[in-house]
Amino acid sequence: MRLLLVEDNDLLRTSLAGGLGQVGFTVSAAADGLEGWRLASEQEFDLVVLDRMLPGLDGLDLLRRLRLAGSRVPVLLLTARDAVEDRVAGLEAGADDYLTKPFAVAELIARLRALLRRGRGGGDPVVALADLEVDTAARLARRGGRRLDLSAKEYALLELLLARRGEAVTRQEVLERLYAQEGESASNVVEVLVGRLRRKLHPPGARPLLHTRRGFGYVLAEEEP
């Protein structure tokens, strides 16, 4: 799941990006409202975590811009203000939920997952490809009915490939989506991650689903492209 985090506090932004990345979110982070607006305008996100008080462009103004532009992405507003009128202002501007600082990261994660479930309208969160089933709400994967023991990074890679199934995803895209906050730049980290996921996806006798297209990238598909 792709998440945009807009928070001007460097320590909090780095801490949240790391914590959310560890549980499988692919995080793009911005330190001010204008950068957050640029990222939101250029890319598609599944969730936005937005600080209310931001330099450059206030959080509520950024939120209003998103809604005026037609964006329906779920937005969780972070605020240091606990007054009723402040919470009401956030919700009226288009926020789907809010969390008052200080907060526990575990609560933030729980609220984000609840927003994802709500956004799906209570529909079936399970996505299938051949005998591979991925429960995007529980963040679990099964192959032939057997649960796959995936790390957070392996699951994030699987979810990225599944969202683009049948299309080639380049090493650079994987690097930018999964390792941007960690400063990794070598393509071999992607190859190692793909190798680990491939071994878990392909138990003995199972049809290969994860394919490498030399010069293009990686493809998740029932048949080799």
Q: pLDDT digits over 52-100, tens only?
A: 999 999 999 999 999 998 888 999 999 887 666 777 788 888 898 888 8
Same domain, 111 and 132: no
* CA proximity to 114, closest of 102, 132, 103, 98: 98
Task: Give 126-137 as a DSSP string.
Answer: EEEETTEEEETT
Distance CA 128, CA 17 (A): 29
Same domain, 166 and 110: no
Total residues found in the chain within this entry? 225
pTM, entire model: 0.58
Same domain, 64 and 158: no
In a domain, 171, yes or no: yes
In a domain, 225, yes or no: no
User: What's the whole-number average pLDDT of the chain?
Assistant: 86
Domain range enclosing 58: 2-119
Same domain, 50 and 150: no
CA separation, residue 67 to residues 41, 60, 93, 217 (Å): 12, 11, 8, 35
If one compares 101 and 137, the residue with the highest pLDDT of the two is 101
pLDDT at 122 over 50: no
Same domain, 20 and 104: yes
Same domain, 106 and 135: no
In a domain, 216, yes or no: yes
In a domain, 87, yes or no: yes
Lowest mean pLDDT among 37-46, 122-131, 160-169: 122-131
CA separation, residue 29 to residues 2, 7, 32, 183 (Å): 11, 8, 9, 13
In a domain, 133, yes or no: yes
Distance CA 134, CA 149 (A): 12
Can you give the CATH number for the domain in which 214 is found? 1.10.10.10
pLDDT at 140 over 90: no
